[in-house]
């Protein structure tokens, strides 16, 4: 039984992403979402900055949850440069990332920024590990 538990733990260690790195890059989410909504990925503006996804109505900024503050400024800038509505898609990799989502929610509301989130494929594993081992923060 101990051998089986050790193998299981080793499997988890090698199948889970390193906590400081992202298993999926930002462009993974951009490609999926932008293709679904018929947007233009990495739309270059006159000042050489790039909108992550430009749709008919929105200039959309994608960012991982811990970078929530940066996303606000970028979305407002892209909105001004394109005359589109500002939008942010926050990438949620683990349950604890919702604390960032809750921080940004009221700011987006007060600045007229549409806010969405997308869960990473790793979200499921983090939430199961959290429940399995009663971990408060990963």
Phi then psi for 98, rounded to 5 degrees? -65, -15
pLDDT at 131 over 90: no
- Give me the domains of the chain, ranges plus CATH numbers: 24-133 (3.40.50)
CA 62 distance to own-chain centroid = 6
Long-range Cβ contact pairs of 98-105 (< 8 A, separation 24 or more): 98/65, 100/65, 100/66, 100/68, 101/65, 101/68, 103/68, 104/68, 104/69, 104/71, 104/72
User: Per the confidence metrics, is the pTM higher than 0.85?
Assistant: no
Q: What is the pLDDT of residues 39-75, one digit of tens each?
A: 999 999 999 999 999 999 999 999 999 999 999 999 9
Q: What is the pLDDT of residues 64-113, one digit of tens each?
A: 999 999 999 999 999 999 999 999 999 999 888 999 999 999 999 999 99
Query: Residue 123: which pLDDT band, with cuts at 50, 70 and 90?
Result: confident
What stretch of H or E contains 115? strand 114-119
Q: Which residue's entry shows tokens 């109505």?
A: 57
């Amino acid at each position: 039984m101990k051998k089986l538990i050790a193998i299981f733990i080793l499997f988890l260690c090698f199948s889970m992403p390193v906590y400081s790195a992202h298993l999926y890059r930002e462009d993974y989410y951009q490609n999926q979402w932008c293709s679904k909504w018929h947007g233009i990925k990495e739309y270059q503006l006159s000042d050489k900055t790039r909108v992550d996804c430009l749709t008919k109505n929105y200039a959309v900024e994608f960012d991982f949850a811990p970078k929530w503050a940066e996303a606000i400024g970028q979305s407002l800038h892209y909105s001004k440069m394109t005359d589109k509505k500002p939008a942010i898609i926050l990438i949620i990799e683990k349950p604890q990332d919702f604390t960032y989502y809750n921080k940004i929610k009221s700011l987006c509301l007060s600045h007229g920024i549409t806010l969405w989130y997308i869960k990473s494929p790793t979200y499921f594993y983090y939430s199961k590990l959290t429940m399995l081992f009663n971990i408060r923060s990963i």
